Structure formats: C-alpha cells, structure tokens
Amino acid sequence: MTEPTLYPVPGPYAGKTLLDEQGYLEMYRRSLEDSEGFWREQAQRLDWIRPFTQVKDVSFARDDLHIRWFADGTLNVAANCLDRHLAEHGDDTAILWVGDEPGTSREISYRELHSEVCRFANGLKSLGVQRGDVVTIYMPMIPQAAVAMLACARIGAVHSVVFAGFSPEALAGRMDDGQSRVVITANAGRRGGRSVVLKENVDRAIALCKETTVETAVVVNYTDDAVNMQPGRDVDYGELLAAQDEDCPPEEMGAEDPLFILYTSGSTGKPKGVLHSGGGYLTYTSLTHEYVFDYRRGERFWCAADIGWITGHSYIIYGPLANGATTVMYEGVPNYPDVTRVARIVDEHQIDVLYIAPTAIRALMAEGDRPTEGADLSSLRLLGTVGEPINPEAWRWYHRNFGRGQCPIVDTWWQTETGGALLTPLPGATALKPGSATRPFFGIRPALVDNDGNILEGAAEGNLVLLDSWPGQMRTVFGDHQRFADTYFSTFRDMYFTGDGARRDADGYYWITGRVDDVLNVSGHRMGTAELESALVAHPAVAEAAVVGFPHDIKGQGIYVYVTLNSGVEPSEEMHRTLRDWLRSEIGPIATPDVIQWAPGLPKTRSGKIMRRILRKIAADEYDQLGDISTLADPSVVEQLIDNHTRLA
Ligand code: 6R9
C-alpha cells in the first residue's frame, strides 16, 4: 500500500479554525503588501505603556545593519504575560507542571505566578540587580525557572538561560561573555529518576570565569541532595522570596531594549549570544503561538522542549503566557519510567496540543506501537514538530499513533535567531505533506538563492534566505554587532542567510534539506564543528581533529570525530574513553561523540584547509562519491581513512 503524500485539512477542522486556506492566503498577501499596516495592527495584541508611532526601521545592508520594530513604544514583557490576565483570568492555570516521577504535578494560576514573579523580582533588586544587567539562569525544568525569567523581564534585567546539560566550562564561557554577575540555579534537578547536580557545576563555573566576578548565586533547594552554600555569595531562593513584598511595579522598557540573550552555535568560533528585544519578540511569539497552534483559551498546550533552548523560551514561556494559555512544563524525559510516558501525560492531563522534536518521535517509534498502546489520546487536537527535518516515516508514525490519523501536524521551521516559527502549516488552512514545513507565516519573505546569490524562481533548490525582517528577528550578537553582520548578512548581499538549504516544490511548499554550513544538528541540538574541534585540540594528546555529522537513525545526525594524536601517543581503548569524556566535560553530554576514528593524517588542500566534504562522505559510507581529490596535498591519506573507517564498522 502506498502512503498518501498529501493530507488535506481534516473534515472536523472545516470552519472551526481561526483561518481557512483562503483566509491564510488573504492575510499573507496583506502582510506583504502593507507590511507596516499589518504589523501595526498585530502589535495591538500587546499592552503598550506608551504606544509606538514608528513600526519598522530596518536595513539588511551589511555596513548599515539595523533592525528596529515599534522602536518608540514602551512596554513590559512580564506585565504582558501576567498582569493583564489577572482581572478576568487570574485563576486560570498558567503553568501545569508535570514532574519527572509519575503522578507528580502542580497547577500554578496566573495570580500565583504573578505573585511569585513580583516577589522574586524584588528579591533580585535587593541583591543589586538593575535594568540592563545580565542574569544567568542555569536551572532544571521547574516552575522557578519560569519565575526567574519573568522576574528579570519585570525589572528590565536581561536573562541568559544556559541549558542545564552544559558543562561548567560552557557555563563559565557564557557568564564571561555576558559579564553576568548573578546566576540563578538549583541544588539539583530530576531527570529519568535521577538527580542531576547543578550547584556544583555552578561553583566550578564561577571558579573558571576569567572576565567576570560572579557575586551572587541564588539557589533553589529543590531536591534532598546536599548543597554547599558559600556564605556571602550564595542565597537561598526560598529565604529570599520570604523576605519580599509582593508589590513590584513593572519597569517601563523600550520596545528595543534587550529581553534576553541565548547562546547558539554557528559554523565558526565560540557560541554567539543571540539577542532578542522585548516588543517585537513578544508580538511575534504571541501571534505565531495563536495562529500556528490555533490556540484557544483554556486549552492545555504542551511544548516538550527545555527552557534552555529557544523553543522553550518562545513556546513554553513567552508566546503561551502572553496569550493567557495553560502551558505545560515537563521536568523529565520522554521514556521515563517507560516509553508510554508521553501518552500517559497526554491522557492524565487531557493535553490539547503536543509539540515535540523529531528525535523524540523517532526514539519512540523505535518501540513500535508500544508508546501509545492502551492510551486514549482523544484530548489531542493538534500535533507539532520542531528542531530538525522530520522524515516522512516518523511523521506518519506520529500522525497515526499520537494523532489517531486525525490530528494535523504543524512542522515548524525556525531558528534561535528567528525568535518564532517562519515556515509552518496552519491547521485548518494548509494541506500537509509529510516532511515539508510547507509555507511562510505572515510577513515572512523566504527565497532560495544559488551560491552566487541569484534568486531562484518556481520549483527549485538552493540556500534559504529571508528578504525582509519580521518583529521576532534577533537584533544583534551580544557585544559584537560586526559578527552579526558577518555571520548572517555577508554571504548574500542584503539578505538574511539562514545557514539552511531548502527545496521548493511546484505547490510552493518548502522542504528543508539541512544545514549547508559546518553546523551539526544532533537530536535537535545545534553544535558547531569548530567548537567541538577546538575543545578536542585543547587536549594534550591531540594534534589535530576534524568533526563531521553522519546520518543517524534516531538523532538525525551523529557526531563523527577524526583525531590525529600527537606523536608518541598511541591509539587505545583508554584514549578513546578519555577523549569521549573530555568532550562531555568541556561542552556537555550532548557533545558525546558517536564515533571516534584515529586518523594518521587528515585530507587537506595544499593551502592547509581540511576538506570536510571528504570526511563527511567517508563517515556516511559513501566512498564512491568522494569527488575530485586531486587537489589534496596528500591524496593517499584518503585510502588510509577509508581503511580505518571500514575496520571500525
Ligand atoms: C527552533 C530551533 C535551528 C536549526 C535550523 C534548521 C533546524 C529547526 C526545523 C529544522 C527542518 C524543521 N530546524 N526546525 N529543520 N525542519 N521544522 O530548532 O532553533 O536550535 O536554533 O536550530 O534547526 O537547520 O537552522 P535552533
């Protein structure tokens, strides 16, 4: 039986969504034809303290790069996420927290969340935090993480959330870059039935900071694990909160004042501090959350990401809370205590929308039908995916097993840099094709260009660029505007380059083909090969290293490492373990290599540039497609590499 390639909008959806096909087309057309008018209107979904008069002030020119939206308006993001819901919806559940241990959960109303955010905001002020200061958040998936983010927003401090799976070294690098003198953490988190110690990592990170003296660590004593509190520096979250007043007027912030920094990997250098500002970001995340998920008040919306990534920022915290939604925050992993956990949570809490990464879907799919066996799942109305391309097989499994063949799947393509979804179906408006992120959201002007920057028309494949700005776009790289220009606006003139390749079919649907730069996407986590390589060569045994991705059934991409050891160091099982652990400790467990291959030499051009194309082909078992290797300084290394590779298998 052949599977369908086109899934029309399901019957029960007709007329019940915010928009149908015609509605989408009209609104999309208007968003381009009268961009200023469109965004002026959409921004009214927020409460402004001082209304803006200027809508958009943008130049993508590399030497005059600036992106400003609603620039003369003022607002407070936390007040938009909390205060304005209190009068009529104060008792609605803002956060439905689901704990790692089955059976543990907690509902926090908008009123309760508001109260705790205000008190914690006052607590931060009492510690000397002022508007503009960067506050690092290194926390497990507990409600206090949301409180910390919103408290920063309330007082105009800039949060920098660092994924709790990152190592002390990685944390220190980010605190140094942000010159962040305050960090908020927990003694430990819970994941998969185990404690994950965090405070010890923070202690080590503080000791490792070279450019910043961290003055304060606020610690949520969440688990029973012992914690070492350093007097004069470490502050207990509960004690701090207890001493505070609930009255904390929101700071009046300019729309373009920074809201947060979030570090992400690129093809070169250290991770970049992607900076988002308040007014545009909240307009965009709130609008996309409503239309992409066709969100209705009262529904339970579960984005199963971590707050350490942009998906968590935009679709666990800011978008949903701006819309007065009930956002689900899940502490644990999809397969604890067993593979039925996701389905059980859906049933137990009657979840309406489930939004998860393809890697999680593929991991569950590997268990056949077991993950949904015996589950009802009838509360689900809509499914979503994000983070990497989804293969049609996983799409269909998700559609059949979680969607009971009835729920549309919104495959949302976007990036840390874009703030919210840019290419995405709208349920009710878009017929779906498994594996395609379909069409642009309102105001988005995608294009495909060839390597010389020529725009390709019609059905085509090329580099994915964006020709114009949208309010959720990043504003700069923290502390390095030149790097912002160089990274995104220098490859193709006057265009934002995404780093992704894509194909557009005859229906105008986009199919993301993956990164065209040296960025890996491992289980939906972005990692720069340069970052991994520089960590490896920092090890005394390593002379040279090259890292490439290779196709991996569950992770999408796996990490394949080629290492040349220093002379006198012999390859061994032990050295293998040492380097594996080294990457885990330098960057974090997400950087654990899948394969380490010893390489007596690496394929280089005569000018000394490593030819990764060749290494990628070898890692993927595609030796017959190596292409031209005659430009190599020493073509004989290739044979040796293939030889070693086949012996690994
Ligand atoms: C939101 C997020 C961004 C990169 C992006 C692309 C890949 C994300 C995707 C997708 C195909 C999708 N990506 N969503 N590829 N289909 N629906 O994931 O941000 O962590 O910055 O990653 O992820 O390659 O460039 P981020």
Query: Can you give the three-state secondary structure of 243-271, one letter per residue?
Result: CCCCCCCCCCEECCCEEEEEEECCCCCCC
Percent of the chain surpassing pLDDT 70:
100
Q: Would you say the ipTM is above 0.85?
A: yes
Which ligand 1 atom lies nearest to the CA of residue 415? 19
Mean pLDDT of the chain: 96
3-class DSSP state of 206:
helix
Q: Determine which residue's CA is closest to atom 6 belonging to ligand 1.
A: 388
Report the 10 Å Cβ neighbour count for 153.
29
Which ligand 1 atom lies nearest to the CA of residue 512? 11
**Does residue 584 have a known ligand-binding role?**
yes
* β strands within 180-224, DSSP E: 182-186, 188-191, 194-197, 216-220
Q: Determine which residue's CA is closest to atom 8 belonging to ligand 1.
A: 387
Percent of the chain surpassing pLDDT 90:
90
Round to whole Å and give the CA distance between 344 and 330: 12
Round to whole Å and give the CA distance between 515 and 495: 17
Which has the minimum average pLDDT: 20-34, 101-115, 480-494, 600-614? 600-614
Which has the minimum average pLDDT: 130-144, 150-164, 186-200, 533-547? 533-547
Cα 342 to chain centroid, rounded: 20
Q: Give the pTM.
A: 0.94
Round to whole Å and give the CA distance between 79 and 597: 53
Mean pLDDT computed over 69-96: 98
Residue 268's pLDDT band (cuts 50, 70, 90): confident
Tell me what pLDDT residue 610 has: 85
**Does residue 387 have a known ligand-binding role?**
yes
Residue 97's beta-bridge partner residues?
A: 106, 329
Tell me what pLDDT residue 1 has: 54
Which has the minimum average pLDDT: 284-293, 494-503, 640-649? 640-649
Mean pLDDT computed over 477-485: 98
Q: Is the pLDDT of residue 449 over 90?
A: yes
Which ligand 1 atom lies nearest to the CA of residue 416? 21
Dihedral, CA of residue 283, residue 288, residue 291 and residue 297, to nearest 10 = -70
Token digits for 64? 């005059």
Give how far Cα 153 sits from Cα of 124, 418, 483, Å. Answer: 11, 20, 26
Tell me what pLDDT residue 191 has: 96
Q: Which ranges in 82-165 belong to alpha helices (H)?
A: 83-89, 110-126, 143-155
Q: Is the CB of 346 under 6 A from ligand 1?
A: no
Pocket test for ligand 1, best of 414, 416, 517 (most atoms within 8 A of CB): 414
CA of 514 to the centre of ligand 1 (A): 8
Mean pLDDT computed over 548-574: 94
CA of 473 to the centre of ligand 1 (A): 15
Residue 58's beta-bridge partner residues?
A: 67
